[in-house]
Structure formats: C-alpha cells, structure tokens
Amino acid sequence: VHQAWLPPEAFRAIGARRALVLGDGPLAGTVRDELAQACARYGGSVRPGGDLASADGGPYDLVLAAGAGESLPAVAAAVRAEVRSLGAEIGGEGFVLARRDGVTVVLADEPAGLLYGLFHLVRLGEAAFEDTIAVEHHRPALRLRMLDHWDNVDVHPVMGQVERGYAGGSIFWRDGALRDDLRRVRAYARLLAACGINAVAVNNVNVHTTEARLLTDRLGDVAAIAGELRPYGIRVHLSVDFAAPVTLGGASTADPLDEDVRTWWAETTERVYDTIPDFGGYVVKADSEGRPGPFAYGRSHADGANMLAEALAPFGGVVHWRAFVYDHRQDWRDRSTDRARAAHDHFAPLDGLFGDNVILQVKHGPIDFQPREPVSPVIAAMPATRVAVELQVTQEYTGQQRHVCYLAPMWSEVLGFRLSGPAGPSVAQIAGGAAAHHGRAAHGAAAANGAVSNGAVSNGAVSNGVAELDGTAQTYGGGGLVGVSNVGDDDFWTGHPLAQANLYAFGRLAWAPDADPAAILDEWIGLTFPAFPPDMTGGPDRPRSVLHAIMDDSWRTYERYTAPLGVGFMVRPGHHYGPDVDGYEYTPWGTYHFADRDGVGVDRTRATGTGYTGQYPEPWSQVYESIERCPDEVLLFFHHVPYGHVLHSGSTVIQHIYDTHFAGVEEVVRAQALWAGLAGAGSVPPALHARVADLLDEQLRCAREWRDQVNTYFFRKSGVPDAHGRRIW
C-alpha cells in the first residue's frame, strides 16, 4: 500500500533529533510512538515517560509538551510564560511552535494539540530546526473537520460497495462484515490526523438494511473502528436510518413526537455510548431521494432532528442533519418547480428551531456537487443554526478519479465567498462559528484572536475575519466542514494517485480555510514525493513544477471541457461519468439546461423565472438577477440567454462553448506530455507513474468525447459555425 503523504522519509528531520515528549493520555502516547519509530530509523532518541520531575535532564533538540506542567525544561517554560503573559489561550487542538536556544518547542494545552504539532513538524522537515523560526500559533479555524464515507457493508447491487466510490472496495468492510485486519484503518487515521481531520462517519448516508444494524447488534464493528481511529484523535460517527424504530425496533411508527419512539432512540443511544464513550453522533439523510423522514408523520425536519439531538445530548453527541432535500420525482414539464430552491424553501423557515447539538449539513451548492455551482444561499440564511458545509472529495461529477481534477481551488473559492457582500462573513467563517458579540460564540472559533507574540502567525480565516463582524447582529453557531471521502481499498488509496491531493487539501482547508491551494499542493508534493528537489520555482523540467503545471489549474480544465457556464449535469444518467447532453433533460431529477435553437440556460430570476435569485441576500440577489452583472461562470445557472449573448469576456456564449471545449482538451494533451516527461526520472515510483499515465489516456479519450458531443450538440441546435473553423462533427 502506498504511503501517501507519510512516507518514512517525511520523518527524517524529527527522527534524527533528541526529543522529549511531556503529556498524559493516549494522544501523547501516539506522539511518543511516532517519534520513537522515526528515531529508530534516523538515529535520534526520544525520552519515554511523562515524568515531569526528571524532565530537565536534557539536552534536547525538540520538546513537545502538553498541559501546564511546572517542571518544563527551561526553554519550554520560557515559551509557556510568554504565551501566558499575553493572556493567550493555545486552544484545545491548537499548538504553539517556537525556537529557543537551539531547541524547537511545541506547546499545547491538550494532547490533541501535540499531535497536530507533531505533524506540523513533519511538514516543515529541517526547517523546523532553523533558528529563524518565529513564534507561531496554530489552531483550527473549524472545530469539526469530518469525512463521511459512503461505504456499504454489503455490496449494493447497483451502487457497489462504496456509493460513488472510485477507489475499490471499502477499507472498513468486506464480504458483509468488518474486515479482520484493521491495520489499513489505523494507517488511514494517521494520514487523516496529519492533514487535520478529527471525525469520520463510517457508513453511507443511504442506510440500507444491513448497515442500519450498525446502530444496534452490529455496534461492535463500529467500536472496533473507533478503536483504530481514536489514537489519532478521530471520533467515529454513524449514518442512521430515520425509520430505525420501525425497521430495527419493530415499532409501528417512527414519528419523532411519539413517546415510545423517543424512548427507543434514547435507550439505543445510551447503549451506543456504553460501547463507544467518545462516539461523535449521527448523520441523517431524511426525506431525501426516497429515504424515510419526519414528513411521513406530518412532522418537520426540526422535529426529526431535535428528537435525535435530545437522545445524543446527555453524552455530548451531535446530529448532522442533511439539508439535501428536494423533489426527485418532478415532472420535467413543470417549470415552476426548481430543485435549486428546495433546500432553502425547506430549511430557512426552520432557523432558530434546531437544538444546540443539531448541525445542519448543507451541500456547498444548491444542486449536487457540480464542477461549478453558485454557493448555496442556505449557508447564510440560518444565523441561529449551526451550519456545516458539505463538499464532495470523491469525484462523482469531477472525473471519478480517472481525471486529474485538483479541487482545492474550487473549495477555496467556496470557503472564501461572502454571501452577504464584503462586510459579511465568509462561508468558512459561518461554518467555523463566526460570532461577534452575541449569542453562541462558545460553539465556534469566535475567540480565535490570533497573535501570541511579536511575529506570531495565526493561520485561519476565522481569526482574521472576526473583527470585521463586530457590530453586526448576526451570529453563527458553526458546524464545521464535511467532505465525502474518496478513499477505498485501492493500493493508492484514491484510485488516481494524484487524487490523494484532494483528500489532503480538504483536511488542510478545514484547518485553515484561507490557505493557498497551490501552497497546499506544494506541501502535498513535498511530502508525497520526497525524492523531488525541494524548490518550488525550479525550471519547467523539475518534477515539482511539472506537477504544479498538471494540477494547479486542473479543475478549470475539467470545467472547460464539460458542461458550460455553470449549467451543470450533461453527464450520463445513473453513473454520472462522461458526456450525455440531454441525458437528464426529460427526467424527474430536476436538472435541466433547456437548450433550444435560440439559446440555453435556466431562468432562475425573480422577474421571469423560478425566483431562486431571491434566496440570496444583497448584493448577490441583485447581481445574479441581472444578466449584465451575473458572473460568466454561472450565467447559464441563472439565465436563459441567446447563443449570441456577449459575455463579460467579450466572447459570445456559443463561441465560448467552442473555445473552452477545444482548449480543455489541449490542456489534457499538455498534461499528458508533461507527465510522460517524468518517466524514468527516478523521482516518481514506476508503478505510480504507470497508473497516472494510463489514467491520463482515459482522461484524454473522455475529454475528447465531451468536447465533440457538447460542441456538436450546440452547433446542431444553433447552426452557428465556429469562428475559427475547427472541426465540429
């Protein structure tokens, strides 16, 4: 199995040092074990126990200390005193990194901070031991950084084992049971901790019969997984079936207001916590795509969510209630129903009605993880609700891990987007708990007042942005960031080896949403390919810059050769791979483009369309409403326009379609040539090189298919030829 971003070489710098680890509990133990392994390989030493009294024995090159111990070695005590004198809290999962008298010091309030500090040292490598290091304060901008696995225990007849999975079978389940050997799960936990993830839901949100029982008689399986994840600071969550009192408990109803139903959930949840005391909570897909939910009993989503929240509250658990609720049986002739509106229509009126431990989990866009969507207006519409933003790391609509598509630039745009204009909070701030003076600041990172000392760095959009919120009435509880995992039992974890970068970047952005996607990619390259020369600026023949050239802009390349200008879909129905322009056009799924001989796009305006633009606060409500002001990249999401409509770019819609589709394919051709140039260079392992080369062949084939089907389709509809006379079929 490939080591992903934690090959042994990544531990060379810390493994060659004399280290002291102070702190109690299993996470401090993990840090000690990690260091001991690294030292065994690279000649360093780690002082074992947490015996504070004998701690001053030195000398050390590296001290990691959690808690407020009074017998810290002098250098660490000095850093601790400085942090204290500034009145700064390091914060639960945070850490301070400093360099004093030739010793690198990592201080944390709690052992989790030590763990994240350790992996920060791994990222820094030798740079962690340079005297130029300033005091740095790191703490996560988002408290909950979670991956949802859409894994089934059984192999589903249509969806396979991992629904929308492109990397083989599940790492948890095999042949209808928990895997015997869970070492892979432990290795996964380690990778996740190294990029900052702290929660995992182990089964598909579509909870089928076998999987429903993970909550009850198969709970032992979940406990075993929890045992593997725990040493790396990751809590386990479970997707549950809303109808479980009926399907598992034999009751006649799952009505959330029924006393027996409430008792069933309370007792069942108590048993879960008896077995897994640090269990994270439930994930629920209710009244969505045929899943059961409170609507069947005339109850609201708040009734449903609160009932589960009440069962979890005594144990500190949360319920992630998904907002992906829409009519999936609509009539394509019905022009008044708009799927984009659905989540806001259902949930915005419920703001303020959810319990404190309910997290409303909202997809980043209003439809379904398309390569380009506007940001969901639900995210800003519920200031009295804890909102989590859901991203899709698995590449269902972005090339299914056969295409190179580095998604961090898209996520970064989403996380930085300010739904109510420049003075309002960003999406990351809302998900992180952007509260100024009022209300529920305790839930989030509102107090992330960065600087610890002169030259201190606080990395997190939230800390920088909080000040801007002063004086606004709105507060947000903060639900965190959730990604649908792209991992399977494939040797490279993610099918496409370069798709590992998406998993890594997801974690890093959940920790620091304002981090630069290219810098995250560079970090990932440095860790994953230790044989690469270290400089990022090397000439075009350097492997590192080749990878940047292939990956940095690959999301936009993918966008160019697929559905144009934000209109979305145009994929093969069912599996969603490859082009099929009209594949969904006359289906019940609510995903239409309405192309005719004159134009294309969905009129979602208030003036003449579905009124969806009215779900946005100002200024976006006005911007999206206006054909003139609407950004090109989402024009067809909001407007139906003639093919001759001139974009801000100066091109017409039809010429833009042709140009981008030709360009996108050319970019894949270039990527293929660049990658071929890395063959035999010694810095890319041959098996990895071969896997990517094969996948690039498939990407090019598929991109050509997209180009030709989309271009031909619009040429036939419009009759407008390509201005450059290129071949359209």
Which 174-193 residues touch ligand GCU, going by CB under 6 A? none
What secondary structure letter does DSSP report for 646? Answer: B
CB of 527 to ligand GCU, least distance (A): 30
Q: Is 468 one of the catalytic residues?
A: no
Q: Which two tokens stand for residue 236?
A: 């386990």
Which 90-119 residues touch ligand GCU, going by CB under 6 A? none
Q: How far apart are CA 670 and CA 393, in angstroms?
A: 25
Closest CA relative to residue 309, chosen from 271, 259, 346, 256:
256
Which 384-403 residues touch ligand GCU, going by CB under 6 A? 396
Closest CA relative to residue 528, chosen from 10, 136, 1:
10
Closest to ligand GCU by CB, 115 or 387 = 387
Q: Does 494 bind ligand GCU (CB under 6 A)?
A: no
Q: Which residues contact 33 (CB under 8 A, 6 or more apart)?
A: none
Closest to ligand GCU by CB, 148 or 514 = 148
Closest CA relative to residue 364, chosen from 407, 405, 332:
407
Q: In this chain, which of 32, 149, 164, 656 binds ligand GCU, going by CB under 6 A?
A: 164
For residue 146, list its beta bridge partners: 199, 482
Q: How far apart are CA 225 and CA 235, in angstroms?
A: 10
CB of 225 to ligand GCU, least distance (A): 21
Q: Does 205 bind ligand GCU (CB under 6 A)?
A: yes
Helix (H, G, I), strand (E, B) or coil at 146: strand
Catalytic one of 396, 559, 603, 633: 396
Which string of x and - marks every residue 424-463 that binds ligand GCU (by CB under 6 A)? ----------------------------------------
Q: In this chain, which of 152, 206, 239, 394 binds ligand GCU, going by CB under 6 A?
A: 206
Catalytic one of 24, 101, 130, 289: 289
Closest to ligand GCU by CB, 125 or 366 = 366
Q: Does 285 bind ligand GCU (CB under 6 A)?
A: yes
Which 344-373 residues touch ligand GCU, going by CB under 6 A? 368
Q: Does 645 bind ligand GCU (CB under 6 A)?
A: no
CB of 703 to ligand GCU, least distance (A): 22
Q: Does 163 bind ligand GCU (CB under 6 A)?
A: yes
Closest to ligand GCU by CB, 206 or 718 = 206
Are the C-beta atoms of residues 152 and 163 closer than 8 Å to each other? yes
Closest to ligand GCU by CB, 326 or 532 = 326
Name the pairing type of β-strands 151-156 and 45-47. Answer: unpaired
CB of 363 to ligand GCU, least distance (A): 7
Catalytic one of 109, 368, 552, 625: 368
Q: Which residues contact 455 (CB under 8 A, 6 or more apart)?
A: 134, 135
Give Cα separations from 130 to 99, 526, 535, 701 (angstroms).
Answer: 8, 18, 17, 48
Closest to ligand GCU by CB, 82 or 368 = 368
CB of 498 to ligand GCU, least distance (A): 23
Closest to ligand GCU by CB, 172 or 326 = 326
Angle at CA of residue 692, ends 691 and 697, nearest 5°: 100
Q: Which two tokens stand for residue 319?
A: 């319920």
Handedness of CA 420, 421, 424, 427 (dihedral sign): positive
Q: Does 633 bind ligand GCU (CB under 6 A)?
A: no
Q: Does 151 bind ligand GCU (CB under 6 A)?
A: no
Closest to ligand GCU by CB, 305 or 435 = 305
Closest CA relative to residue 66, chosen from 23, 105, 98:
23
Closest to ligand GCU by CB, 100 or 291 = 291
Alpha helices in 125-242 (DSSP H): 183-195, 209-212, 219-229
CA dihedral defined by 82, 87, 93, 94, rounded to 10 degrees? -50
CB of 240 to ligand GCU, least distance (A): 14
Give Cα separations from 373 to 142, 285, 410, 569, 727 (angstroms).
Answer: 23, 22, 10, 11, 30
Q: How far apart are CA 147 and CA 484, in angstroms?
A: 6
Which 24-83 residues touch ligand GCU, going by CB under 6 A? none
Angle at CA of residue 698, ends 692 and 702, nearest 5°: 140
How many positions of this chain bind ligand GCU (CB under 6 A)? Answer: 8
Q: Which helix (H) or strand (E) holds 386?
A: strand 386-392
Q: How far apart are CA 446 and CA 435, in angstroms?
A: 5
CB of 321 to ligand GCU, least distance (A): 13
Q: Is 110 one of the catalytic residues?
A: no
Q: Which two tokens stand for residue 314?
A: 């005594």
Q: Is 368 one of the catalytic residues?
A: yes
CB of 717 to ligand GCU, least distance (A): 27
Q: In this chain, which of 282, 324, 354, 569 binds ligand GCU, going by CB under 6 A?
A: 324
CB of 171 to ligand GCU, least distance (A): 19
Closest CA relative to residue 280, chosen from 317, 328, 313, 246:
317
Would you tell me which residues interact with ligand GCU (CB under 6 A)?
Answer: 163-164, 205-206, 285, 324, 368, 396
Q: Would you name the residues annotated as active-site residues?
A: 289, 368, 396
